Amino acid sequence: MRLSQANVTEASQRFSFTRRSLLMSAAQLGVGGALIARAAWLAIAQNDKYTLLSESNRVQLTLIPPRRGWIVDRHGQPLAKNRSDFRVDLIPDRVPSLDAVLPPLIETLGLTADDVQRIRTDFEKAAGFQPVQVAEKLEWEQFAAINLRLPELPGVVPARGLSRDYPEGAAVAHLVGYVGSASADQYKESHDPLLITPGFKVGKDGLEKTMDLHMRGKAGAQRSEVTARGKLVRELAKRPDVSGNTLKLTIEGGLQAYASRRLGMESGSVVVFDCQNGDILTMASMPAYDPNSFSDGISHDEWDMLSKNDHLPLMNKSLQALYPPGSTVKPMAALAIQRHGIDPHETIYCNGGYRLGNRFFRCLGRHGSVDMPTALMKSCNTYFYAMGHRIGYDKIAVVAREFGLGQEFTLPFPSQRYGTVPDSAWKMRKYKQAWSQSDTLNATIGQGYLLTSPFQLALMAARIASGKAIIPRVINGPLVTPPRLNIPPEHLAVVHDGMNRVVNMGGTAARSRLPLDNVTMAGKTGTAQVRRIAGSQRGGDAMPWKYRDHGLFVCFAPVENPRFAAAVVIDHGMGGSRAAAPVAKDVLTYIYDPAKAMDSLLALEKNWGGTIKERMDREAALYRANKAFENGEIPPIVPIPASGNTADGNSAATVKITAHAAPAPASTAATPVANAPSNPAGTVQP
């Protein structure tokens, strides 16, 4: 079969070949021209664009995280400093498979299951470019081993860096806070590349958070020539970083640490003021987390343990826990009563209580005939019921506010609660109810609607001690001379006398006299009821821990020429004289005679089972062991309920709790404190 009828000969074939090879050559020349044209387009027309791309390939700009400013106490001793260390990070974007990278890391760095779980969680949450910390504070040998194995570990970045170091550990946790890698949200907000630079930390809580920019400094930059695999070829230009500023506090480091340790096994807080100028010398809240381990990146178990603890180690109780102040407000009430013309020497007969209509308001004892100083000394409710009833609570509330209760103070902390000083207008606004006379009686002795923070109690004590309207401050700066309060000195003298008798003349805190020859302390105990109490039953030993009364104590020293004022609150401590006053005694003793105070602390710590760190480590180990038991990994371990509190936590709770109603902020919040609203309702009326 033929395709066509044309007659093809050798000659015609040769001719067609010549034509067709010419065609091919022309086509080839066309393609060749296109090749050169394309090369010219790339190399000449788009040269600028590609030169730029080539340069951005070649030169890498690395930010050098600035050295974070230190936090120092009033004497310049560091509360938070930097320590140079070796660290290893993961850049999620460059990690092809976490499962491939983890085993060699576990092997080389000896990571625990806890660490691995934290890395996995962080890795999932991280936004690609954000470094995930694998390990910090590595030994040189470990660091070198990782560097050797880098070729098989894509996305693993070893670095020398600085890590935050808190020499006092948990003792300063709530005060200074802690640092950590910036969150993905923070980066999305500002798009500051510094935030995702490996090793860069921002403040996450406390002063570290609120004063972050002050301490942050300015990042340095390093231009360097790098290969595609990120290997450094040579360094081109460098701009050094500018260290952050030092943050100097009014805190007295030694006293802060002592107070934290002295709180011991209790849940509570200590606030100490210089009552002449408003310097906060100590603001301790215990138990606390260890900011060192928080700044390393906290493990899931550690977080779990802290957030489930009924002693609320994640809450800064000094500023965020609210308590009915109990009898600690009686000195303030005494000043209000005097202002409204009542002679402090007028006596009231206490027969064990006060009758209002058909209700009988109990006193703690039968004090007989008492005047104002005696009423303070013996903490006689009847006297204050009577006098409060006579002048009305609205007038006392005015004075309470003058002394700082219920007032908002601007302090550099992420969250504060300001409590409540109730009066008739407040009650009408809040509950649409008229103020009753029994409300007055309750509020006068620091129960009922009245709620304060330990910080406010200390401020009240400081203003009573000095008679000055001091403004609290925690950041050191030039001294300001506070104005005097509108309180006649003779009124103050009566109250000082009463508070002196409380401690030094057989009053309610007689056992807490300072063990010093020439310095005496004046104070006032308080016991705040936690639950509605039937009849005369108080929240004492027989009750589960969480329903026991709070113990409070406010004080100042020296009595004659007040310089220091303090408030101590022990959660469920069952009474001011029993739980709080001894702590205040030791803390004030430390100011004048540290050696003597330390002796008594060491004796106590022997019973408690060691220092804060030793106890926390043991607790963490026990928690992990129990957890492992729950997971069926190890045989059961006999728990050591050292404080006797752990067992109580399980009892069924149907009773309403008054104070620190903030829920444990555990599961959701990134910061350990929830920003809870003030004025929680549901205060107890006896």
Which uninterrupted H or E stretch holds 463? helix 454-466
Residue 573 C-alpha from the chain's centroid: 22
Residue 26 sits at φ, ψ, to 5 deg, of: -60, -45
Smallest separation, CB 95 to other proteins (Å): 14
Q: What is the smallest separation between the CB atom of 40 and other proteins, expressed in angstroms?
A: 6
Residues in contact with other proteins, shown as a per-residue x/- string from 4 to 23 under the rule CB under 8 A: x-xxxxx-xxx-xxx-xx--
Angle at 61 between CA 55 and CA 65, to 5 degrees: 180
Q: Amino acid identity of 133?
A: Q
Virtual torsion, Cα 214, 218, 219, 221, nearest 10 deg: 180
Which is closer to other proteins, CB of 38 or CB of 366? 38
Q: Cα 195–201–204 angle (5° rounding)?
A: 105
Q: Which is nearer to other proteins, 11 or 652 (CB)?
A: 11
Report the nearest approach of other proteins to the CB of residue 15 (Å).
Answer: 9
Answer yes or no: are the C-beta atoms of 463 and 469 closer than 8 Å: yes
Crossing angle (nearest 10°) for helices 393-402 and 330-339: 110
With beta carbons less than 8 A apart as the criterion, state whether 109 and 135 touch: yes
Look up residue 380 and give its two tokens. Answer: 């006689």
- In the shown chain, the binding pattern of residues 178 to 217 toward other proteins, with x for contact by CB under 8 A and - for none, equals ----------------------------------------
By CB under 8 A, name the one of 2, 191, 429, 432 that touches other proteins: 2
Q: Which of 99, 191, 228, 636 binds other proteins (CB under 8 A)?
A: 228
| Least Cβ distance, residue 37 to other proteins (angstroms) | 10
* List 114, 225, 310, 593, residue binding other proteins (CB under 8 A): 225
Nearer to other proteins, 34 or 425 (CB): 34
H or E element that contains 424: helix 424-431
Element housing 292 (H / E) = helix 291-295
The one among 43, 425, 480, 681 contacting other proteins by CB under 8 A: 43
d(CA 167, CA 254): 11
Could you tell me the end-to-end alpha-carbon distance of the chain, in angstroms, rounded to an integer? Answer: 120
Nearest-approach distance from CB 188 to other proteins, in angstroms: 22
Site size for other proteins (CB under 8 A):
48
Query: Which amino acid, residue 409?
Result: F
Among 191, 229, 432, 606, binds other proteins (CB under 8 A): 229
Contact status: 42 vs other proteins (CB under 8 A): yes
Q: Is the bond preceding 287 in cis, omega lying within 30 degrees of 0? A: yes
- CB-facing half-sphere around the CA of 479: CA atoms within 13 A: 9
Name the amino acid, one letter, at 648: D
Residues forming a β-bridge with 524:
554
Q: Is 95 helix (H, G, I), strand (E, B) or coil?
A: coil
**CA 354 vs CA 81, 374, 686: distances in Å:** 57, 17, 13
List the one residue from 111, 116, 221, 226 that touches other proteins (CB under 8 A): 226
Give Cα 87 distance to the centre of its chain.
25
> Between residues 26 and 480, which has the closer beta carbon with respect to other proteins?
26
Residues 520 to 579 in contact with other proteins, rule: CB under 8 A:
none
Q: Is-cis flag, bond preceding 488, omega within 30?
A: no
Q: By CB under 8 A, name the one of 44, 542, 638, 652 that touches other proteins.
A: 44
Using CB under 8 A as the binding rule, the residues of this chain from 288 to 307 that contact other proteins are none
Q: How far is the CB of 231 from other proteins (least distance, A)?
A: 8
DSSP type of residue 274: E
User: Which residues, 256 to 275, sit near other proteins by CB under 8 A?
Assistant: none
What's the DSSP call for residue 126?
Answer: S
Distances (CA, A) of 402 to 407, 460, 471, 555: 9, 9, 12, 18
In angstroms, what is the minimal distance from the CB of 126 to other proteins?
18
Stretch that binds other proteins, among 225-233, 266-274, 450-458, 610-618 (CB under 8 A): 225-233
Please state the closest distance from residue 25 (CB atom) to other proteins, in A. Answer: 6
Choose between 30 and 506: whose C-beta lies nearer to other proteins: 30
Give the nearest distance from C-beta 6 to other proteins in angstroms: 7
For other proteins, the closer of residues 90 and 335 by Cβ is: 90
Stretch that binds other proteins, among 33-41, 253-261, 364-372, 400-408 (CB under 8 A): 33-41
Min. distance of Cβ 33 from other proteins in angstroms?
10
Work out whether strand 78-90 and strand 71-72 pair parallel, antiparallel, or are unpaired: antiparallel
**Among candidate residues 293, 298, 299, 302, the one with its CA nearest the CA of residue 163:** 293
Residue 129 touching other proteins (CB under 8 A) = no
Shortest approach of other proteins to residue 292 CB, angstroms?
38
Per-residue contact track with other proteins, 346 to 365, x per CB under 8 A? --------------------
Beta carbon nearer to other proteins, 92 or 203: 92
Q: Name the one range near other proteins by CB under 8 A: 35-43, 128-136, 465-473, 676-684.
A: 35-43
By CB under 8 A, what part of segment 475-504 binds other proteins?
none
The string of DSSP codes covering 31-73 is: HHHHHHHHHHIIIIITHHHHHHHHHHHHEEEEEEPPPPPPEE-
Closest CB 94 distance from other proteins, rounded Å = 10
Instruction: Check binding of 223 to other proteins (CB under 8 A).
Output: no
Closer to other proteins by Cβ: residue 233 or 242: 233
E strands within 128-252?
Answer: 132-138, 156-165, 179-180, 202-203, 220-226, 232-239, 247-248
Q: Does 233 bind other proteins (CB under 8 A)?
A: yes
Pairing of strands 564-570, 59-64: unpaired
Residue closer to other proteins by CB (options 9, 481) is 9
Task: Based on the shown chain and the rule CB under 8 A, indicate whether residue 38 belongs to the binding site for other proteins.
Answer: yes
CA-based angle 151:157:159, to the nearest 5? Answer: 125
Pick the closer one to other proteins by CB: 130 or 508. 130
Give the full edge-to-edge strand order of the sheet including 59-64. Answer: 59-64, 220-226, 232-239
Nearer CB in complex with other proteins: 223/340: 223
Which range of residues in 29-37, 161-169, 197-205, 427-435 is near other proteins by CB under 8 A?
29-37
Nearer to other proteins (CB atom), residue 228 or residue 595: 228
| Residues from 47 through 106 that contact other proteins (CB under 8 A) | 47, 49-51, 53-55, 57-58
Q: Where are the alpha helices (DSSP H) in 113-183?
A: 113-125, 140-148, 173-176
Of 2-10, 158-166, 171-179, 514-522, the segment contacting other proteins by CB under 8 A is 2-10
Contact 398, 421 (CB under 8 A): no
**Min. distance of Cβ 92 from other proteins in angstroms?**
14
**Contact residues for other proteins, defined by CB under 8 A:** 1-4, 6-10, 12-14, 16-18, 20-21, 24-25, 28-29, 31-32, 34-36, 38-40, 42-44, 46-47, 49-51, 53-55, 57-58, 225-229, 233
